[in-house]
């Protein structure tokens, strides 16, 4: 990446130097990781923070000896870092195994406050981690789940249909920030307005959004939001934002002796302390890409602005390059529409898995399938076949994007 107009953000070459995985070779080719939507590579500072915790501070919490106190400090530091990342209070940060586990945990707590006939709105665009936890309440609590449709031509959410579904029985609108399958970015502020008008809560699955846009829960106006650190260069950890009054009041399943105060009352069992240390290091790594000064949030804002511009440029390169190849069909919004640098396509006559395998032979690591966004893929007529998905990250280079387009050309040409 060239220097941003702010002249402060690290270049792509400087960013890439932090990632040992980029030195890997496959079949004599330098590996280009286009599998970021399924999980990104990890920079040295994050691995170092995890190792440092395990080697020098490993203990359980809230006891009166040094390593326990040090663990408490690590967790407090990580909550503050995550709060800066999402623009909330550290008392509103819950850690867990992953977004899916946290969402099931939250759904059980919310379900205890709802009655039969209460309604939840989900969408056909979403990863099923933001569908199945709410569908489970149909069985557990008699809750009615309604699903907002997508626009078939662009795979964008039909917000007018979502608004039509919202009514006096709506208790929650659960929506993705961005589609992990086709890259669509949703208008979360508008959806939050629909939720408020219906006097309903709003939950956001930001797993695919958080790597590409700096989340601001205050600006969105949501009540809950979840993301996963391993999608933005961190360890396999989930992060849940919940408004403090809700975290303090909801009947989360928990052990009686466990802390009763937010946010710990929403966390079950002993946490993955080394992973949480890695979350803090991940957020600090991202902030460090702008060394010009300011608060962590200010530095993150400048970094994300630069990475967003880079991402849109890559999305445009990929869309224009791939769509020009005979036999290639693209899915999702145009690069001129709100989207992430994640593009999905198929090659006529070549199964998605075969495309991925042949690209891997060229050192181009992509992914294939439905990516747990099974509904949208089925509506595309690709159930059982799936898409080829290409996702760009902070370490993606122009040369890698060009290699990817050339690789697809070779496959499409037979």
| CATH code of the domain occupying 12-42+295-412 | 3.90.1150.10
Q: What is the largest CA-CA distance in the chain?
A: 67
Extended beta strands in 59-216, E state: 93-96, 119-123, 144-148, 150-151, 156-157, 170-176, 201-205
> CATH topology of 12-42+295-412 equal to that of 47-286?
no
What is the structure's pLDDT at 3? 46
* pLDDT tens for the 414 residues of the chain, in order: 444 444 578 999 999 999 999 999 999 999 999 999 999 999 999 999 999 999 999 999 999 999 999 999 999 999 999 999 999 999 999 999 999 999 999 999 999 999 999 999 999 999 999 999 999 999 999 999 999 999 998 999 999 999 999 999 999 999 999 999 999 999 999 999 999 999 999 999 999 999 999 999 999 999 999 999 999 999 999 999 999 999 999 999 999 999 999 999 999 999 999 999 999 999 999 999 999 889 999 999 999 999 999 999 999 999 999 999 999 999 999 999 999 999 999 999 999 999 999 999 999 999 999 999 999 999 999 998 999 999 999 999 999 999 999 999 999 998
Cβ(238)–Cβ(101) below 8 Å: yes
Q: Which structure tokens are listed for 409?
A: 């050309």
- Cβ atoms < 10 Å from Cβ of 260: 10
What is the structure's pLDDT at 7? 55
Instruction: Name the residue ranges covered by the structural domains of the chain.
Output: 12-42+295-412, 47-286
Spatial distance between the Cα atoms of 41 and 29, rounded to a whole number of angstroms = 18
End-to-end CA distance of the chain: 33
Q: In sequence order, what are the residues at sequence separation of 6 or more whose Cβ sits closer than 8 angstroms to the Cβ of residue 322?
A: 328, 330, 343, 345, 405, 408
Decide: helix, strand or coil at residue 185: strand
pTM for the structure as a whole: 0.96
What is the structure's pLDDT at 8? 75
**Could you confirm whether domain 47-286 is CATH 3.30.360.10?**
no
């Amino acid at each position: 990446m060239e220097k941003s107009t702010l002249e402060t953000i690290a270049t792509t070459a400087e960013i890439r130097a932090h990632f040992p995985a980029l030195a890997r070779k496959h079949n004599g080719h330098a590996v280009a990781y286009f599998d970021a939507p399924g999980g990104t590579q990890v920079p040295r500072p994050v691995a170092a923070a995890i190792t440092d915790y395990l080697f020098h501070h490993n203990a359980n919490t809230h006891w009166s000896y040094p390593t326990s106190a040090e663990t408490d400090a690590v967790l407090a530091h990580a909550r503050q870092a995550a709060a800066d990342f999402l623009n909330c209070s550290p008392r509103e940060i819950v850690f867990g195994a992953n977004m899916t586990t946290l969402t099931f945990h939250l759904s059980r707590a919310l379900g205890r406050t709802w009655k039969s006939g209460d309604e939840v709105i989900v969408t056909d665009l979403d990863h099923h981690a933001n569908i199945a936890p709410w569908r489970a309440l149909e069985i557990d609590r008699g809750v009615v789940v309604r699903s907002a449709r997508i626009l078939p031509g662009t795979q964008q959410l039909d917000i007018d249909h979502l608004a039509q579904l919202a009514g006096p029985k709506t208790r929650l609108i659960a929506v993705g920030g961005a589609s992990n399958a086709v890259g669509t970015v949703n208008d979360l502020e508008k959806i939050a307005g629909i939720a408020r008008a219906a006097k309903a809560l709003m939950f956001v699955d930001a797993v695919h959004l958080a790597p590409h846009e700096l989340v601001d829960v205050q600006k969105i106006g949501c009540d809950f939001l979840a993301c996963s650190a391993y999608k933005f260069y961190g360890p396999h950890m989930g992060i849940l934002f919940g408004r403090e009054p809700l975290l303090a009041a909801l009947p989360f399943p928990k052990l009686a002796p466990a802390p009763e105060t937010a946010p710990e009352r929403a966390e079950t069992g002993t946490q993955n302390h080394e992973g949480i240390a890695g979350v803090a290091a991940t957020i600090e790594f991202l902030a460090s890409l702008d060394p010009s000064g300011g608060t962590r949030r200010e530095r993150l804002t400048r970094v994300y602005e630069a990475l967003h511009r880079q991402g849109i440029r890559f999305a445009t390169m990929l869309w224009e390059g791939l769509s020009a190849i005979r036999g290639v069909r693209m899915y999702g919004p145009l690069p001129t529409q709100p989207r992430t640098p994640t593009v999905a396509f198929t090659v006529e006559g070549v199964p998605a898995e075969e495309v991925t395998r042949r690209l891997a032979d060229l050192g181009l690591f992509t992914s294939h399938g439905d990516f747990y966004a099974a509904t949208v893929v089925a509506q595309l007529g690709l159930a059982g076949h799936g898409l080829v998905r290409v996702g760009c990250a902070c370490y993606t280079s122009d040369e890698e994007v060009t290699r990817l387009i050339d690789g697809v050309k070779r496959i499409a040409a037979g």
